[in-house]
């Protein structure tokens, strides 16, 4: 459980100075931007804690023709850093800042967590299939035709190119190096 996400206010609606300092240190946002994002967050989530349903609603706005539920449930588990079953403002901002970042290591780390569904420290073929299929289901009706390829064929190619020791799963180093060495594949599987 991360110290980043300790709740410092009882109701989840107040942004404490400690939380602001965490966000200033760990995101590219300045104090004014953090306060503005917080106001907007509370306008959508008045109790300060976003549930899975609200996250799904948000993604359905981004992908109105796609099936977002499965992907959102996985993303929710990754964003919910303290395991509370809700995403608070600090958790959301820390995750959003990674997806918006140009730091490839941060993005790959978040993507690895997204694919490692059982938190084993490895990504199995079945996990790749499940998460990639959920991404494709969400984006199927978008204009990005590159995403319209057979998921199992894509996973076979990923395993062939990323799994250096051919043991049937990917560890962090293999995933990172595979994405760096194969940017066209990485672009197809990393949703941010």
Domains and CATH numbers, the chain: 13-100 (1.10.238.10), 104-189 (1.10.238.10)
Q: What is the CA 12 to chain-centroid distance, rounded? A: 22
d(CA 60, CA 1): 29
Note the pLDDT of residue 21.
Answer: 93
Q: Both tokens of residue 112?
A: 């690895």
Return the pLDDT at 55: 87
Q: What is the distance between the alpha carbons of residues 124 and 141, in angstroms, rounded to a whole number?
A: 27
Give pLDDT, residue 175: 96
pLDDT given at position 89 = 92
Q: What distance in Å separates the CA atoms of residue 65 and residue 26, rounded to the nearest whole number?
A: 34
Give the pLDDT score at 85. 92
Whole-number pLDDT of residue 192: 61
Mean pLDDT of each 10-residue bin along the chain, 192 residues long? 41 87 88 93 92 87 83 87 90 79 81 92 95 84 58 93 96 96 86 64
**What local confidence, expressed as pLDDT, does residue 86 receive?**
93
Contact (CB, 8 A) for 66 and 140: yes
Secondary structure (3-state) at 28? coil
Residue with tokens 């599987």: 189
Pairwise CA distance, residues 38 & 14, whole Å: 9
Residue 62 CB neighbours (<10 A): 11
Site of tokens 């799994």: 163
What is the per-residue pLDDT for 128? 94
- Whole-number pLDDT of residue 42: 93
- What is d(CA 61, CA 10) in angstroms, rounded to the nearest whole number? 30
Angle between helices 104-115 and 69-79 (to 10 degrees): 120
The model's pTM is 0.73
Burial (Cβ within 10 Å: 0-12, 13-18, ≥19) of residue 65: exposed
Query: Can you tell me whether residue 88 is helix, strand or coil?
Result: strand
């Amino acid at each position: 459980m991360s110290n980043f996400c300790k709740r410092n206010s009882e109701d989840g609606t107040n942004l404490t100075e400690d939380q602001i300092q965490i966000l200033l240190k760990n995101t590219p946002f300045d104090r004014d931007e953090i306060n503005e994002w917080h106001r907007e967050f509370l306008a959508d989530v008045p109790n300060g804690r976003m549930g899975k349903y609200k996250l799904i609603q948000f993604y359905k706005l981004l992908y109105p023709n796609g099936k977002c539920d499965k992907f959102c449930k996985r993303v929710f588990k990754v964003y919910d850093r303290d395991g509370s079953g809700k995403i608070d403002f600090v958790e959301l901002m820390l995750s959003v800042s990674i997806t918006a970042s140009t730091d490839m290591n941060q993005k790959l780390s978040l993507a690895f967590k997204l694919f490692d569904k059982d938190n084993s420290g490895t990504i199995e073929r079945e996990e790749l299939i499940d998460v990639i299929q959920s991404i494709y289901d969400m984006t199927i009706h978008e204009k990005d035709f590159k995403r319209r390829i057979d998921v199992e064929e894509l996973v076979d190619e990923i395993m062939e190119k990323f799994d250096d020791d051919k043991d049937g799963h990917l560890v962090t180093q293999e995933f990172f190096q595979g994405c760096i060495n194969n940017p066209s594949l990485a672009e197809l599987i990393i949703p941010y």
